[in-house]
Amino acid sequence: MENLILLLLVDGLLAAGLLLAAGLFLASKREIARVALRRRRGDEALAQSLDQLRKELEALRAGAAELDRRLRELPVSAAPEAEMDPVRRSQVLRMHRRGERPEQIAAVLGLPRGEVDLLLKLQRISNAA
């Protein structure tokens, strides 16, 4: 009798273990399916974002091409002037040392007033250092 009870107990434990394993297997399958669904949704959202970024990039490229075209159409005189050459720089500094005002220096040398002011300011900073 004890053997029968022991055998039934072992069989019962085996059955419970099998049921538990089957339950864990099914729960794992459900979780895997949920994760796969979330991943697919994420992939779709990422694809939509990527498409939107591609459209924006194309719009930016078109805008840049338009700006480039407009820049090439500008007259040559509208292009920024090259930086001041060393001879003019020394003329500006020499005239300033003689006491001439920046607007006079700009007029005599044919330079923009802002450029003369900037050069004199840089010279003051350089001397202070």
pLDDT mean by block of 10 residues, the chain; 129 residues: 90 95 97 96 96 97 93 68 77 94 93 92 88
Which of 85, 75, 77, 73 has the alpha carbon at shortest distance from 109?
85
Phi and psi at residue 79, in whole multiples of 5°? Answer: -70, 145
Yes or no: say if 88 and 109 are a contact pair by the CB < 8 Å rule: yes
pLDDT of residue 47: 96
pLDDT of residue 77: 57
pTM score over 0.75:
no
Yes or no: say if 116 and 105 are a contact pair by the CB < 8 Å rule: yes
CB proximity list for 68: less than 8 A, separation 6 or greater: none
